Structure 1
């Protein structure tokens, strides 16, 4: 398994990941892109445990997602039933991530925002706009922008519909869908295609 994973993570992280997987073996599947999640941990109907990871993630996002899901495994093994992203998971995730917080593994622009995120990690790395933006710099060019990068009044497409960017409401942007004139709320780091 580590031979397969080594193609997706930073080279300097391979040994550390291998050590974790020796202590916490699990079936890991690399799957096509899912728009709703980067990865997941689940118990299958036959009772076995599995992690799935999207294969289109850049190596830093892939590593972060892998450790996120392994933290679910460790939490499950110790507690069986807890909140999915509760205190126990947070502690395990922080503990597992600590050895990876080094400039030989993560770039200098990612390290400080990643360290800040790990003070109180959320269910999704996407909920941290700064971390999402820092990690996005290492994606292959997609032709997309984060909605927070667009100017007020910009026209963009999202899921084959056109919208006009409006005001921010706490953490989300109000955007009007042009064909229906309905207002929708967009997360700040939603990826969209600018039209004008």
Structure 2
């Protein structure tokens, strides 16, 4: 059964993505949102490879996540078992993403951040705050705020735990866990639910 890609990725990206899916015999499954990851690649017990991508991503996040996971698949085919986000994967990912770096696919306000990220891609795009915010087009999930948007001293909920927002360090915020009184560092693009404002 073919997945209706138009629902998930920019229209101009469809021919390229369909080519990659057929060429590499990709088994793609679109799944409900997971808290800890946007997508994954795994070898199933029957020896088949499967890629999953969360269904709640916008088209720009979805496309990047899908190519990220296809790069894992291709890396595994070419090199066998290597470091998950090592030099082999980085090279394959950069090569696969290059055709998508065009304004017909990614808007011009995202392209510079995407190009910069691809110089040395990391395991998660969320570690690149500028790219993460650009991909989300400044929109947090329904009912949530980015941590940088809420006032200092506010209480917020993150993964069923309450925290109090503290000062910003260079790139992250110090936040007091109200259950254990320990301070944790949050990326400024973390999405949280505001409980009380100061």
Same fold by TM-score greater than 0.5: yes
1:1-196 to structure 2, matched below 5 A, reads: 3-137=3-137, 142-194=142-194, 195-196=196-197
- C-alpha distance in 2 between matches for 1:22 and 1:112: 30
For residues 61-89 of structure 1, give each alpha carbon's deviation from its aligned partner in whole angstroms, at most 9, with x where no partner exists.
00000000000011000000211001110
For residues 1-55 of structure 1, give each alpha carbon's deviation from its aligned partner in whole angstroms, at most 9, with x where no partner exists.
6542232111110011112122211111111110000000000111110001101
Give aligned pairs, total: 196
Give unmatched runs, 5+ long, in structure 2: none
Change (3 A) 1:141 1:127: closer
- C-alpha distance in 2 between matches for 1:138 and 1:15: 28
Change (3 A) 1:188 1:52: same
SS at match of 2:113: helix
**Ranges of 4+ aligned residues in structure 1 off by more than 6 Å:** none
- What RMSD over aligned residues (CA atoms) do the two structures have, in Å? 1.9
Q: TM-score, normalised by structure 2?
A: 0.91
Q: TM-score, normalised by structure 1?
A: 0.92
Change (3 A) 1:6 1:155: same
SS at match of 1:29: strand
Q: Is the 8 A contact 1:42 1:49 kept in 2?
A: yes
Change (3 A) 1:138 1:14: farther
Give unmatched runs, 5+ long, in structure 1: none
